[in-house]
């Protein structure tokens, strides 16, 4: 997908501009070469022996069709001389791997035959990431789910916020999914519903996946920068060579993930803040309000803001349906006025950060749908909006030198995107990779 970006160049001596361009271009291609080699390191594949009862063949012809609404597997295979018994045998042999009754309209189905028209193998696109391959044997079918080999291309966009991040990203020709990925990376530092202001800016370096020349989705965000209210946050993706685990860190190696999410809701507005003296909307008396009220739609999902153990899930008088969760380091969170609890949420249940624990409601003493969110630290209420939490899982010390070497290279993109990417009208090819990369 081509992104049209208007570039305003400063006037200056031509030899300085040319020298700067050559320097950054050389660095840029060194980075690409480095990233390509990195992706192929530590990858060894053992050759698997073929089952003896599989036919040795080289398919000559390929037939592909898009499954139409109402079409069944039988409708497709009858055209290739499959009998009802053959189709039943195929279904039974393949079912442990994939249920062929679940084929969907709009997906691709391929049949491979010999020159004489004998079916040798079948393929079915399960989704954009995986496909089913079926090898015909002498008296059986062998099925396997594989991942597509995508062509990865590097792309970068940058811009300023006028109203919402999604609009700013789509204005650059990209999809909503990329904006969501960017927001998720910085979600522990920036509330993208409440904190965003006109004039905030972003830069994001990311992968785009192509299959047969067609864009099919996004890969990883490699590096990103977001400036909110004058403060700039940076994120660099790093994958450990031993465990293959990945995370986003700032340049010093602090994880962008924090012990607590900033908010337990995605779509909301603050209707009442933490206060030691607030006029109660129903009782009409001034009293402390030890939480933050988020007005939201009924049944909007409520998420646990940190890992912990549910210590209470039930009716609690004026608080209505409530969930209380105990966390590490003496923290405790409470979620009041819920409409319902998520499946399995009960006392003693272990929950993960970001896990849905209930839905917004108006139970108990309430004037309308909202969530009253509260935090205690060592038994004392604290303001959820001003609380600051430590990062989790900092970069392992033994990898810091390697990480910062890569981060410095990524920073060249963030510092001079106009100089580097203005020379390329299309995404820049990287090495091909499977969907699991």
- The tokens 């139409």 sit on which residue? 68
- The Cα-based distances of 118 to 57, 112, 134, 156 in angstroms read 11, 8, 14, 48
What are 65-77's pLDDT values in tens digits?
Answer: 999 998 999 999 9
Evaluate whether 360 touches 339 at the Cβ level (below 8 Å).
Answer: yes
CA distances from 285 to 279, 281, 282, 293 (A): 5, 8, 8, 17
CA distance 141 to 83: 15
What values do phi and psi take at 189, rounded to 5?
-110, -25
pLDDT of 400: 95
Instruction: Output the pLDDT for position 8.
Output: 40
Alpha carbon distance 376, 389 (integer Å): 13
Residue 283: strand, helix, or coil = coil
Q: What is the pLDDT of residue 286?
A: 46
Per-residue model confidence (pLDDT) at position 99: 94
CB 227 within 8 A of CB 161: no
- Looking at residue 86, the DSSP 8-state letter turns out to be H
Low-confidence ranges of the chain (pLDDT < 50): 1-13, 37-56, 271-286, 434-437
Domains belonging to the chain, first-starting first, are 61-147 (3.10.450.350), 150-258+393-434 (3.10.450.350), 269-382 (2.70.70.10)
Determine the pLDDT at residue 1: 37
Q: Which class for 384: exposed (0-12), middle (13-18), buried (19 or more C-beta within 10 A)?
A: buried
Give the pLDDT of residue 419: 54
d(CA 239, CA 41): 12
- What's the confidence (pLDDT) of residue 50? 47
User: The pTM is what?
Assistant: 0.62
Cα–Cα distance list, 268 to 194, 278, 291 (Å): 8, 21, 15
pLDDT at 10: 41
């Amino acid at each position: 997908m081509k992104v049209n970006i208007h570039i305003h160049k400063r006037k200056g001596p031509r030899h300085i501009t040319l020298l700067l361009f050559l320097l950054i271009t050389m660095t840029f291609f060194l980075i690409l070469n480095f990233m390509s080699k990195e992706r192929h390191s530590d990858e060894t594949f053992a050759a698997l022996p073929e089952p003896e009862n599989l036919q040795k063949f080289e398919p000559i012809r390929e037939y592909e069709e898009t499954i139409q609404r109402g079409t069944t597997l039988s409708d497709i295979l009858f055209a290739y001389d499959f009998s009802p018994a053959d189709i039943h045998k195929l279904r039974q042999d393949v079912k442990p791997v994939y249920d062929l009754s679940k084929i969907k309209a709009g997906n691709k189905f391929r049949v491979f035959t010999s020159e004489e028209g004998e079916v040798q193998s079948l393929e079915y696109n399960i989704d954009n990431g995986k496909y089913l391959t079926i090898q015909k044997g002498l008296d059986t079918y062998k099925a396997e789910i594989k991942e597509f080999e995508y062509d990865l291309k590097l792309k970068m966009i940058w811009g300023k916020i006028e109203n919402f991040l999604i609009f700013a990203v789509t204005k650059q020709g990209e999809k909503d999914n990329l904006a969501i990925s960017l927001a998720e990376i910085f979600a522990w530092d920036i509330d993208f519903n409440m904190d965003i202001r006109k004039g905030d800016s972003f830069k994001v370096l990311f992968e785009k996946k192509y299959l047969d020349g067609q864009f099919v989705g996004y890969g990883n965000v490699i590096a990103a920068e977001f400036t909110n209210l004058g403060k700039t946050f940076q994120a660099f993706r790093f994958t450990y060579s031993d465990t293959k685990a990945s995370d986003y860190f700032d340049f010093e190696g602090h994880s962008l993930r924090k012990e607590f999410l900033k908010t337990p809701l995605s779509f909301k507005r603050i209707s009442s803040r933490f206060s030691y003296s607030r006029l109660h909307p129903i009782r009409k008396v001034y009293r402390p309000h030890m939480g933050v009220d988020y007005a939201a739609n009924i049944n909007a999902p409520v998420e646990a803001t940190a890992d912990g153990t549910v210590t209470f899930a039930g009716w609690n008088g004026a608080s209505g349906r409530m969930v209380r969760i105990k966390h590490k380091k003496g923290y405790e969170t409470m979620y009041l006025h819920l409409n319902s609890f998520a499946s399995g949420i009960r006392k003693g249940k272990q929950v993960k950060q970001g896990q849905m624990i209930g839905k917004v409601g108006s139970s108990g003493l309430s004037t309308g749908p909202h969530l009253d969110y509260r935090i205690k630290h060592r038994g004392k209420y604290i303001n959820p909006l001003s609380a600051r939490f430590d990062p989790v899982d900092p970069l392992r010390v033994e990898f810091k030198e390697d990480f910062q070497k890569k981060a410095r290279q990524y920073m060249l993109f963030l510092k001079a995107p106009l100089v580097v990417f203005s020379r390329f009208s299309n995404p820049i090819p990287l090495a091909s990779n499977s969907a699991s990369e």
